[in-house]
Amino acid sequence: MTYRPSDLRHAKTLFPLLALLLFMAGCATQKELSYLNNLEEVDGANQFPMEVPDYKVQPRDIIYVSVKAQTPEGTLTEMLSDRASTNMNYISNEGTSYMMGYSINPQGYVTLPLLGDIPVAGLTIYEIRDLFQQKIDSLFRHAYVEVRLMSFKFTVIGEVRAPGSYVNYNDQLTVLEAIGRAGGISETGTKEKILVIRPQGEQTLTYHIDLQDKSLLSSPAYFITPNDVVIVQPNPKKVFSVNLPTISFILATVTSTISTTLLLINYFK
């Protein structure tokens, strides 16, 4: 075997060359950084049905209930308790929601002053309001019932900038808004592999969605429901960064072995 001095120089350049190739493989493209890439670029050309799911309350949910009745003087007064008279606009955290709301017990019942135990699990907020209204009408004249869901909590974890659990105070929330609440997807997250875990009664549903595809807008997971968990998976860049120390060690070992071998061949030639 004939050794040439250039062999050693080639071996020394092997490591940085391979490192550069691996770095370029981990770079993101413009398509990977954007959302809903395949939408038509004509305004109004894209139409998708807005199927907002009607959430059915479950045991351990918390609901806000207010019953106001008209007095002989023509004013409205709260008929349940002082906690129901609290303005919903000032309920801003889980602790306050728990103290000011009515919890649905594990059997699916909610206990209200004047009305007692009422089964509500499996009903929508609108159905619960109608049910309460019927019962209140038998007790008071000109009474008004208001019911809202207070425990609309969702969780976003994985490759986002601010993972955690959040509370929503609107009637609806999209998965894009949920991820936005968590600070958006980080540089190491992928928009193509989003997992939504949805508890529903005694079962758990899972949805795999792609934030880059317009099919997202018609997915059952486009609208988030209470207790959903959104998981943002890592992209190849994250996988590369996690494995980089191991890759660097292997490349350094291989390069060192080749260099040592060539030096020994040259020495004993």
Q: In this structure, what CATH number is given to the domain that contains residue 224?
A: 3.10.560.10
Say how many domains are in the chain: 3
Round to whole Å and give the CA distance between 42 and 166: 35
pLDDT-derived band at 113 (thresholds 50, 70, 90) equals confident
- Beta strands of 113-220 (E only): which ranges? 116-119, 143-149, 153-158, 164-167, 189-200, 203-209
Which of 149, 184, 211 is the C-terminal boundary of a domain?
Answer: 149
- Indicate whether 42 and 163 sit together in one domain: yes
In this structure, which amino acid lies at residue 70?
A: Q
Q: What is the pLDDT of residue 86?
A: 46
As to burial, measured by CB atoms within 10 angstroms (0-12 exposed, 13-18 middle, 19+ buried), residue 153 is: middle
Round to whole Å and give the CA distance between 48 and 222: 11
**CATH value at residue 86:** 3.30.1950.10
- What does pTM read for this prediction? 0.69
- Indicate whether 134 and 67 sit together in one domain: yes
Q: What is the pLDDT of residues 196-247, one digit of tens each?
A: 999 987 899 999 999 999 889 989 999 999 999 999 999 876 555 555 566 6
pLDDT at 9 over 60: no
pLDDT-derived band at 71 (thresholds 50, 70, 90) equals low
* Domain residue limits at 110: 62-149
pLDDT at 100 over 60: yes
- Indicate whether 21 and 78 sit together in one domain: no
Q: What is the pLDDT of residues 150-175, one digit of tens each?
A: 989 999 999 999 999 999 988 889 99
